[in-house]
Structure 1
Amino acid sequence: MLSELHITGLGVIDDAVLELHPGLTVVTGETGAGKTMVVTALGLATGGRADAHRVRTGAARATVEARFLPPAGSPAVGVTQAAGGELDDDGSLITVRTVTADGRSRAHVGGRSAPLATLSEVTDPLVAIHGQSEAISLLRPAQQRAVLDRFAGLTAEISDYRRLRSEWQAARRELTDRLASGQQRAQREQLLQIGLAEIAAVNPLPGEDAELIAEARRLENADALRASAADAQTALDGSDADPDVASAVGQLTAARRALESAGDEKLRALSQALREAGVLLTDVGMELSAYLDELDADPERLQTIMERQAVLRTLTRRYGADVDAVLDWAESARVELASLDTSDEAIAALREQEKKLASAVVAAGKRLTKARTARAEELGAAATAELANLAMGRATLRVAVTQTEVAPGHADALKVGGRYITAGPDGFDTVELLLTAHRGAPELPIQKGASGGELSRVMLSLEVVLAEADPVGTLVFDEVDAGVGGRAATEIGALLARLARTHQVVVVTHLAQVAAYADRQLVVDATEDGAIRSSSVRAVEGDLREAELARMLGGTVGASARQHAAELVTAARTRRKELSRAA
């Protein structure tokens, strides 16, 4: 449930705190007093669109803080923790939304800054807001289909259908593209094959060009390299031709022996270091000897290297800056060739894949149609029964599931049961709510056959039917009783009270007949300067509540109006007891 809502700097509201009842809370007040701002605040707290014009004049920002008490195992808790947020000490979940006067918006979930998408993901399982715009949206076919899908619980089936449809569309686009650009693809395919054949004939190895450059340099400078290596070896080992030339190894040996014969421990320790240096110099001398043995000016090898370099340069001029780049081009070309295959075999394989995916889409679409058709009758009957409780006892609501036949060449057309129909993003079906106002009246779509008040009641009847299948704990209704009066208003109040047995219900209303059923009535009063402050939102009980209901009934609080208000409360209390016994 939503336990508390704190609003600052929003519209006419300067600072207000609303404590909500777990059952039915109604929010009332004079027209323009700011009661609809409560719904606006909830919209912001649940990730709705921010509007800088909603920030109170003179305020730097508008802030809405909502405190929820999520049920155990609620997905909202998991999303909050995944975002780095935490529950409060009492187990409550706090969301905060801030909108600055220049239109910037920030959200916090569980004490941690979060994107708006995360805020919506957290609150979606907790709150559903239904306003007059919701009733208007019910006029759209897509929304009518969504109502049926929600009642039938088809989320997984729709997701599966959409996945298959996406794969089918991708396969169809690929096939169409290959057939339409066959000549260009064939030319590109030929160029890639020529390039790959040329590279394969040369068979370059990774890093080969760099290795050849290094080897060629050694061969070209063999004499100079030999002289340098020989001089270094002479310096280390001495010269056989000139015994007077002292060797580094010999001098190092003499120094080591001198230190060893001195009989001093410190000098003996230094002699050990000289011994290790001598071993290192000996190793270097041996490596120089091996280098001189291997070093040879081989003109034939140098010529072979130069010829290989020339062949590699023909590849690097066409396919890459070096051999490694050429090999990368070849790998990319092989991948591209696989997608460019325009052979009869490749086209046939694509046709077969597209055919299989189309069959899978048809099967998934048929499953959706079957499920929708089966549940449509149940939804219509249940909603009709609820309309009888809303002073529309002569009306009948039917949910029609149909498909639209199209020409074979139509976009996304699939053959289903011997005819071509459109495979839309949500299936094959068009769902339409049809209202018969009374026996003998024509059956019309609700957008043609329902008045504003009747449309609100149709939406409310559907919401009651859907409530048991809906995991959302808090339902918010913004003047869902617009255009309704008399007995219908009383029945709406009773229906909302019945809904409050299983859900927390928050209602913004201007009808005393609805407010009389509340567990808690909050009155929003503007101060003389038009502001709504914390003291301006008050819970009313007893005489104060009767006075507010009397004002709602006729704008006065005289004795007769108050008596009428008291009778409304008594009647509502009696009706609620009857509803409880019936449950």
Structure 2
Amino acid sequence: MLSEIRIEALGAISTATAEFDQGLTVLTGETGTGKTMVVTGLHLLGGGRADATRVRTGANRAVVEGRFTTTELGDGVAAVIDEILDSSGAERDDDGSVIAARSVSRDGPSRAYLGGRSVPAKSLSSFTTEVLALHGQNDQLRLMRPDEQRAALDRFADVETKLKRYRTVRDDWLAARRDLAERTARAREMAQEADRLKFGLDEIDAVAPQPGEDDALVEDIRRLSELDALREAAQLARAALAGGPEDDPSHEAASATHSVGQAKSGLEGTDDSALRALAERLGEALTTIADVASELGDYLSELPSDASTLETKLTRQGELRTLTRKYAADIDGVLQWARDARDRMVQLDVSEEALAGLERRVAELQTKVVAAAADLTKARTKAAKGLSKAVTDELSGLAMAGAEFTVSVAPLPARADDSAPLILPSGQPVHAGQHGVDAVEFGFAAHRGTELLPLHKSASGGELSRVMLALEVVLAASAQGTTMVFDEVDAGVGGRAAVQIGRRLARLARTHQVIVVTHLPQVAAYADVHLVVDSGNGRNKASVVRRLDDEDRVAELARMLAGLGESDSGRAHARELLDAARSDANAG
């Protein structure tokens, strides 16, 4: 829910703050006061295009800031919002609300903020899309587009699971088709590439290198090159620590082990605590000396008895260098090249068996795509009947008793240059698009007996406004808890139709927060909260937003009726309208 919006230097508004409650809020004001700037500000928070010409004259930038609460949203939407906030590094305010902001500079780029963090406009849009549904005259025009009509039907039909399954099998089918087409068209080229890879793999397999073997060989060759010097150094060190050859009766006499052992025994024979502590330290040193002497013995036993092994190691090193010159900088890289080559070989298999197997896979996946598409079409066709009836019934309540609204679902014909034609069981080729194989079209007839035509050919501006409102009322259950904003949804209507629009908006406000910019008193009378945008009296003529009490509301409704705000008859008419709307709302 939108609890507050603050606007600075946007259009006719210098600085204004508007607070919103649950239910139906209307925004009114004379032409030119800037009441639509509130909706413009919400479009900016929705990630809409930042127009520098909207910045108020004399200001360097415009700022829009909105505070949203999310406790009214369902668990699924709340989880999505939490994920958006976490991924953006955004934080909730102390009261749990989320502050979204957008600034538009006169000379530079716009900036977006979410939860105190600077974010891309797209991230801001992903948040506000979950909590705001904006409907203006441009949105009515979008309703003319086939993709918007299909999206509306899908909301009503709740086909998200079926659509996801269709897209998954379609992606697999298209990938298999591309693979088959590439192998068939590039068979000769791919066979040559496969031969080159096979030659390299055979050469690597013949050498059979081991991971890290080239580095190990360098160390081995270094040792073998200095074999005599290394053996002599190790022998001298071991003799110094552990003594000479064992067949020498005095082999331990001059060893470090013998000397340290004698020192340790001498200190242990005393009763002095300090000397005995030193004896313990000598015991630790004696253990270290014994360990080093043992490891030196192992080292000597592992050294080759002669340097003949060096030639074998050098030969092996030459074999490995042949591979590293051709395939990678080191042996680990060579082994990675081999793994990649084997994976690529699978893709390059253009044998008759491989192509036949791929053709079978394409056919199997096509069958799955046809089944998933048929399941989606069935759900849409069934829902189309329900949506047609529901919207037609709503139009009857909007003073269009003779109007008829239809939703048709037909196969989407394949084009001559179609890259993804799908053959249905009937033999008809259709376009397998991202959203299925269906063309959805809204039909409309304003009066009984008139020809039913596509919506974009048959509805006037006022009729289109009512069709959109009827659709929103019908689809409201799929977006429960969101804030719905209508800008001039009542354009082109009046009289009894205006009353019905106010009644429907009030009904919609039972499950949603609804904000409406209107010029019709019949609509404004149904509001739970009435805000008015007034032009200022100062030199800069800045507009302000005021919340009206009952008496001010009567005066504003009288002005909207016929500019009769100061007359007794105008106020009486306005009060009558207000009382009638309240009575109607309570009765409903």
1:36-55 matches, cutoff 5 A: 36-55=36-55
Per mean C-alpha deviation after superposition, the further-off stretch among 568-577 and 519-528 is: 568-577
| SS state at 1:201 partner | helix
CA distance 1:231–1:171, change in 2 (3 Å)? same
Letter in 1 for 2:408: A
Q: In 1, distance between residues paired with 2:397 and 2:547?
A: 29
RMSD: 3.4
Contact 1:12–1:530 (Cα < 8 Å) also in 2? no
1:138 alignment counterpart: 143
1:195 alignment counterpart: 200
| SS state at 1:525 partner | strand
User: Which residues of structure 1 form unaligned runs of 5+?
Assistant: none
Give 1:579 shift.
6.1
| SS state at 2:547 partner | strand
Count of aligned pairs between the two proteins: 576
2:22 alignment counterpart: 22
Match of 2:418 among 398, 410, 418: 410
Give 1:143 shift.
0.8
| SS state at 1:32 partner | coil
Letter in 2 for 1:40: T
| SS state at 1:364 partner | helix
Q: What TM-score, normalized to structure 2?
A: 0.87
Give 1:444 shift.
1.7
Q: In 2, distance between residues paired with 1:308 and 1:7?
A: 77
| SS state at 1:95 partner | strand
Contact 1:9–1:15 (Cα < 8 Å) also in 2? yes
2:342 alignment counterpart: 334
| SS state at 2:479 partner | coil
CA distance 1:234–1:568, change in 2 (3 Å)? closer
2:65 alignment counterpart: 64
User: 2:508 aligned with 1:499, yes or no?
Assistant: yes
2:459 alignment counterpart: 450
Q: In 1, distance between residues paired with 2:356 and 2:395?
A: 57
Contact 2:113–2:124 (Cα < 8 Å) also in 1? yes
CA distance 1:554–1:55, change in 2 (3 Å)? same
User: 2:2 aligned with 1:2, yes or no?
Assistant: yes
1:119-268 matches, cutoff 5 A: 119-233=124-238, 235-236=240-241, 237=243, 247-249=254-256, 252=260, 266-267=274-275
Letter in 1 for 2:411: Q
| SS state at 1:38 partner | helix
Give 1:35 shift.
0.5
Letter in 2 for 1:104: S
Letter in 1 for 2:341: A
Give 1:472 shift.
4.0
Letter in 1 for 2:373: G
1:427 alignment counterpart: 436
User: 2:315 aligned with 1:307, yes or no?
Assistant: yes
Q: In 1, distance between residues paired with 2:281 and 2:318?
A: 52
Q: In 2, distance between residues paired with 1:269 and 1:413?
A: 90
1:371 alignment counterpart: 379
Q: In 2, distance between residues paired with 1:264 and 1:423?
A: 96
Q: In 1, distance between residues paired with 2:269 and 2:389?
A: 116
Q: In 1, distance between residues paired with 2:298 and 2:54?
A: 87
Per mean C-alpha deviation after superposition, the further-off stretch among 99-108 and 266-275 is: 266-275
Give 1:441 shift.
2.6
| SS state at 2:176 partner | helix
1:106-121 matches, cutoff 5 A: 106-109=112-115, 116=121, 119-121=124-126
CA distance 1:15–1:251, change in 2 (3 Å)? same
Q: In 2, distance between residues paired with 1:404 and 1:257?
A: 100
CA shift digits 1:520-541 (9 cap, x unpaired): 32211010235546xx322334
User: Which residues of structure 2 form unaligned runs of 5+?
Assistant: none
| SS state at 1:27 partner | strand
Give 1:422 shift.
1.0
CA shift digits 1:212-258 (9 cap, x unpaired): 33333333333333443444455553699999998353655665677
Q: In 1, distance between residues paired with 2:315 and 2:322?
A: 11
Contact 2:564–2:570 (Cα < 8 Å) also in 1? no
Letter in 2 for 1:522: L
CA shift digits 1:326-368 (9 cap, x unpaired): 2222122112212222222222222222222211221121122
Q: In 2, distance between residues paired with 1:492 and 1:243?
A: 116
2:356 alignment counterpart: 348
